[in-house]
Amino acid sequence: AQSVSQHNHHVILSEAASLELGCNYSYGGTVNLFWYVQYPGQHLQLLLKYFSGDPLVKGIKGFEAEFIKSKFSFNLRKPSVQWSDTAEYFCAVNRKTGANNLFFGTGTRLTVIP
Protein backbone atom coordinates (compact mmCIF):
# COMPACT_ATOMS: atom_id res chain seq x y z
CA ALA A 1 0.00 0.00 0.00
CA GLN A 2 1.08 3.53 -0.66
CA SER A 3 2.07 5.74 2.23
CA VAL A 4 3.56 9.17 2.61
CA SER A 5 5.55 10.23 5.67
CA GLN A 6 6.25 13.74 6.80
CA HIS A 7 8.50 13.55 9.81
CA ASN A 8 8.23 17.12 11.00
CA HIS A 9 4.85 17.87 12.55
CA HIS A 10 5.55 21.45 13.56
CA VAL A 11 8.47 23.60 12.52
CA ILE A 12 9.12 27.04 13.96
CA LEU A 13 11.57 29.34 12.22
CA SER A 14 12.58 32.96 12.33
CA GLU A 15 12.25 35.05 9.20
CA ALA A 16 15.15 34.64 6.76
CA ALA A 17 15.98 31.18 8.08
CA SER A 18 16.28 28.33 5.60
CA LEU A 19 13.61 25.67 5.42
CA GLU A 20 13.68 22.00 4.62
CA LEU A 21 10.64 19.79 5.13
CA GLY A 22 11.05 16.07 4.76
CA CYS A 23 8.80 13.79 2.73
CA ASN A 24 9.28 10.08 2.12
CA TYR A 25 6.94 7.80 0.27
CA SER A 26 6.44 4.11 0.01
CA TYR A 27 5.25 2.64 -3.25
CA GLY A 28 6.52 -0.09 -5.54
CA GLY A 29 5.75 1.62 -8.83
CA THR A 30 6.49 4.99 -10.38
CA VAL A 31 4.78 8.00 -8.94
CA ASN A 32 4.11 11.66 -9.40
CA LEU A 33 4.95 13.87 -6.44
CA PHE A 34 3.36 17.05 -5.16
CA TRP A 35 3.65 19.63 -2.42
CA TYR A 36 0.53 21.51 -1.42
CA VAL A 37 0.22 24.45 0.94
CA GLN A 38 -2.79 25.42 3.04
CA TYR A 39 -2.65 28.95 4.41
CA PRO A 40 -4.79 29.67 7.47
CA GLY A 41 -8.43 29.69 6.51
CA GLN A 42 -7.74 28.95 2.87
CA HIS A 43 -7.95 25.93 0.61
CA LEU A 44 -5.14 23.72 -0.58
CA GLN A 45 -2.93 25.20 -3.28
CA LEU A 46 -0.32 23.47 -5.37
CA LEU A 47 3.24 24.61 -4.64
CA LEU A 48 5.06 22.38 -7.06
CA LYS A 49 4.96 18.99 -8.71
CA TYR A 50 7.31 16.42 -10.16
CA PHE A 51 6.31 14.16 -13.03
CA SER A 52 9.60 13.40 -14.76
CA GLY A 53 12.86 14.96 -15.93
CA ASP A 54 15.05 17.20 -13.78
CA PRO A 55 14.65 15.95 -10.22
CA LEU A 56 15.03 19.47 -8.86
CA VAL A 57 11.76 21.25 -9.40
CA LYS A 58 10.97 24.86 -8.70
CA GLY A 59 7.58 26.03 -7.60
CA ILE A 60 5.86 29.22 -6.68
CA LYS A 61 6.98 31.67 -4.01
CA GLY A 62 10.60 30.58 -4.08
CA PHE A 63 10.01 26.97 -3.05
CA GLU A 64 11.82 24.05 -4.60
CA ALA A 65 11.90 20.31 -4.04
CA GLU A 66 14.30 17.57 -4.97
CA PHE A 67 13.24 14.07 -5.94
CA ILE A 68 15.79 11.48 -4.81
CA LYS A 69 14.57 8.19 -6.20
CA SER A 70 17.04 6.04 -4.27
CA LYS A 71 15.79 7.51 -1.01
CA PHE A 72 12.11 7.66 -1.97
CA SER A 73 12.21 11.27 -0.86
CA PHE A 74 10.86 14.56 -2.11
CA ASN A 75 11.97 17.21 0.37
CA LEU A 76 10.72 20.77 0.16
CA ARG A 77 13.16 23.66 0.55
CA LYS A 78 13.23 27.41 0.65
CA PRO A 79 16.43 29.37 1.28
CA SER A 80 14.83 32.23 3.21
CA VAL A 81 11.35 32.02 4.72
CA GLN A 82 8.99 34.91 5.29
CA TRP A 83 6.27 35.43 7.86
CA SER A 84 3.73 34.92 5.06
CA ASP A 85 4.97 31.35 4.61
CA THR A 86 3.25 30.39 7.85
CA ALA A 87 0.94 27.57 6.76
CA GLU A 88 0.37 23.83 6.68
CA TYR A 89 2.38 21.94 4.07
CA PHE A 90 1.32 18.60 2.64
CA CYS A 91 3.33 16.19 0.55
CA ALA A 92 1.30 13.94 -1.77
CA VAL A 93 1.84 11.23 -4.35
CA ASN A 94 -0.18 9.47 -6.98
CA ARG A 95 0.50 6.68 -9.39
CA LYS A 96 1.66 7.39 -12.92
CA THR A 97 -0.81 4.89 -14.32
CA GLY A 98 -4.31 4.01 -13.34
CA ALA A 99 -6.34 6.00 -10.87
CA ASN A 100 -4.87 9.42 -10.10
CA ASN A 101 -6.17 9.85 -6.59
CA LEU A 102 -3.69 11.50 -4.26
CA PHE A 103 -2.24 10.04 -1.09
CA PHE A 104 -1.31 12.72 1.41
CA GLY A 105 1.20 12.90 4.19
CA THR A 106 0.09 14.04 7.63
CA GLY A 107 1.24 17.59 7.00
CA THR A 108 3.80 19.89 8.57
CA ARG A 109 2.77 23.07 10.26
CA LEU A 110 5.27 25.87 9.64
CA THR A 111 5.28 28.89 11.90
CA VAL A 112 7.53 31.76 10.90
CA ILE A 113 8.29 34.27 13.60
CA PRO A 114 8.80 37.84 12.38
47 three-class SS: strand
Distance CA 34, CA 102 (A): 9
Nearer to other proteins, 17 or 44 (CB): 44
108 three-class SS: strand
Binding site for other proteins (CB under 8 A): 32, 36, 42-46, 49, 51, 90, 94-107
Minimum distance, C-beta of residue 83 to other proteins, in the bound complex (Å):
22
Nearer to other proteins, 43 or 70 (CB): 43
The number of helices, as runs of H, and strands, as runs of E, in the chain is 0, 12
Minimum distance, C-beta of residue 96 to other proteins, in the bound complex (Å):
5
